[in-house]
């Protein structure tokens, strides 16, 4: 399709079900990821200069290979660190963690008393 600014764009939606490992409790998370993308298609690399910085653009020679493109978009949509939204892991609220957190202040007090 052609956009108002004359650029030819590819609009797409992709979704995938993935099992990731929660970085807090190490239990698997099954989650569905969605990627919406809008890519500006150009035929020659030199045309990339005319593409706005806010757009993602790709050079398409003859045929557009959709599979790797969609894969790429989905990878970008994945979280850097996977964790449950309602993770049951509570180790970071244990008294040990509390004590650890108070350490910097204890050290500061020692420093001030010197």
Read off the DSSP letter of residue 61: -
The residue count for binding Zn ion (CB under 5 A) is: 5
Choosing from 16, 20, 24, 60, the residue that interacts with Zn ion (CB under 5 A) is 24
Question: Which x/- pattern, by CB under 5 A, does the window 55-94 give for Zn ion?
Answer: -----------------------------x--x-------
Helical residues (DSSP H) of the chain, grouped into ranges: 66-77, 95-113
Residue 43 CA to residue 9 CA, distance in Å, equals 12
List residues near Zn ion by CB under 5 A: 22, 24-25, 84, 87
């Amino acid at each position: 399709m052609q956009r108002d600014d004359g650029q030819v764009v590819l609009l797409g939606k992709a979704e995938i079900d993935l099992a990731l490992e929660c970085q807090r409790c190490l239990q698997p998370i099954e989650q569905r990821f969605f990627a919406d993308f809008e890519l500006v298609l150009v035929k020659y690399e030199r045309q990339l200069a005319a593409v706005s910085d806010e757009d993602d653009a790709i050079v398409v020679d003859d045929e557009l290979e959709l599979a790797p493109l969609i894969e790429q978009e989905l990878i970008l949509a994945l979280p850097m660190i996977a964790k449950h939204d309602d993770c049951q892991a509570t180790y970071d609220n244990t008294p040990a963690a509390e004590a650890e957190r108070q350490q910097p202040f204890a050290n500061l007090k020692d420093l001030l008393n010197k």
